[in-house]
Amino acid sequence: MEGAAGVIPSAEMKDHSCRPDRVTQPTQQGSVAGRAGAGSVIGVPRAIFYYTHPHLWETFLSGLDLPVVVSAPSTEVTVRTAARISEAEHCLPNKLFDAHLHELGPAVDRVLVPRILSTVRGHIACPKLAALPDAARVLLAGQRASVLSLEVDENRRPLLDSLADLGLELGAPPDQARAAAEGAIAAMTAAETRATDAAGESAGQRPVLILGHPYTLGDRYIAGPILGKLKRMNVPLQVMSFSRSTVRESFVKWDTSAKMYHQLLEVSPAGWAGVVQITSFNCGCDSMMIELFRSVARDRGVPYMVVMVDEHTAQGGLETRIEAFVDTTAERLARSPRPAAAGW
């Protein structure tokens, strides 16, 4: 993906195209596939949970020897489809999810739509994700594909167990189900760690911290132009880490918002040139959190900008704002030289 400096998990993922001829074949001619119905292809929409759990779903389903199709990355066409079929008041990631689902509907037998209630213990997910499988059923009514779902609630059951249960439900023997679940979680953790390592590479110059939900930063259509512009201006970027270990208990209960909050608390003018938060129009979590983040950034003395993206966002407006922000950070740099000691 352009400009993401290889730090977003999705950027380096295998390109599973939605076209039936690009279906990834199971590594072994699976007995599971036979049990689940020969040629039973499972689709994974490239939206929301594809980014909150990078590599997890495809690795897991491949581990069960089931053919997987991931919908193609969002484009202008996806956005147009979303505008046509989705609920007008949804946030952009949710609209894009609907469009990806729509794309998979005629191409696969089942679409995986997990019900995400919590991805980090002690926290809750955005409430919109709780109704996602139900909304998907409505959207796919009358189409070839049906909805395959599982509940992801780290407060009630670890992800490993939930995945293993899904494996059993899909007809895999217990050993294979558990192995596939373990493999998938390992792949996800590796992807998250890799992202963090890559992010730490911009040594020398103070980087700009990029905040946002994984499905906002990961989606090429939403974050691509912004990250690309910053990259073209030679601004060192560090995309926030989505590693589950960064989250501590606090009053911020939404899981990704908590990740953003705790990373923002670590930011200091000595180490960072600024913070850019990428958000989408009608994002409920961000609408409350941005005021909090703004006050934290102000207390820390770090420039902070929010870029809101919706389906009408014009490139020209984006460029001007980003250039102005980068000018601000450069000016601050000129005015106050970097303190010798890190910290504040």
Partner 1 sequence: MQALAPVELPRYLLTGPLPERQAGDSVDQRPLVAIPNLGNYSIAFTSVAEALGVRAWAATRTTPEAMKLGLEAAPESACLPFKAYLGLFIQAARAGVKYAVMVNSVGTCRLRYYRGLFQQVLDEMGFDMYVFGLGYDGLKPPLVRYFDPRPWPFLKWVGRAAVKMAVVDDIELAAWRTRPLELEPGATSRVMSQCLRELDQSASKRATQSLRADVPRRFAAIPVDPERRPFRVGLVGEVSVLRDRYLNHDLEDLLGRLGVEVRNFFLLGAELGNIFNLGTRNPNSRKRLMEVARPYLGAEVGGHAVESVAHTIRCAEQGWDGVVHVCPSGCMPEVSIRPLLRKISADLDIPVLPLSFDEHTSHVGVTTRLEAFVDVLRDRRRKDCQ
In the complex, which residues of this chain contact partner 1 (CB under 8 A)? 87, 89-90, 94, 115, 117, 124, 126-128, 130-135, 138-139, 141, 149, 151, 251, 253, 281-292, 295, 308
Q: Closest approach of Cβ 87 to partner 1, in Å?
A: 5
CB of 161 or CB of 201, closer to partner 1: 161
Q: Closest approach of Cβ 26 to partner 1, in Å?
A: 29
CA distances from residue 294 to 89, 134, 247, 275 in whole angstroms, order as listed:
25, 35, 19, 10
Q: Closest approach of Cβ 47 to partner 1, in Å?
A: 15
Q: Closest approach of Cβ 100 to partner 1, in Å?
A: 15
Yes or no: say if 43 and 108 are a contact pair by the CB < 8 Å rule.
yes
CB of 113 or CB of 227, closer to partner 1: 113
Euclidean distance between CA atoms 165 and 173, whole angstroms? 11
CB of 20 or CB of 127, closer to partner 1: 127
CB of 154 or CB of 286, closer to partner 1: 286
- Give the CA angle between residues 52, 54, 283 to the nearest 5°: 25
CB of 138 or CB of 341, closer to partner 1: 138
Q: Closest approach of Cβ 13 to partner 1, in Å?
A: 27
Q: Closest approach of Cβ 127 to partner 1, in Å?
A: 4
Of the candidates 56, 134, 129, 133, the one whose C-alpha atom is nearest the C-alpha of residue 94 is 129
Q: Closest approach of Cβ 175 to partner 1, in Å?
A: 29
In the sheet that holds 68-70, the strands lie side by side as: 68-70, 42-44, 110-112, 146-148
- With 0-12 / 13-18 / 19 or more C-beta atoms within 10 angstroms meaning exposed / middle / buried, residue 175 is exposed
CB of 83 or CB of 179, closer to partner 1: 83
Beta strands in 14-84 (DSSP E): 42-44, 68-70
- Give the CA angle between residues 112, 113, 115 to the nearest 5°: 140
For strand 42-44 and strand 274-280, is the pairing parallel, antiparallel, or unpaired?
A: unpaired
Euclidean distance between CA atoms 184 and 56, whole angstroms? 5
CB of 194 or CB of 321, closer to partner 1: 321
Of the candidates 70, 66, 68, the one whose C-alpha atom is nearest the C-alpha of residue 28 is 66
Residue 44 is classified by DSSP as E
- Count how many residues are written for the chain: 344
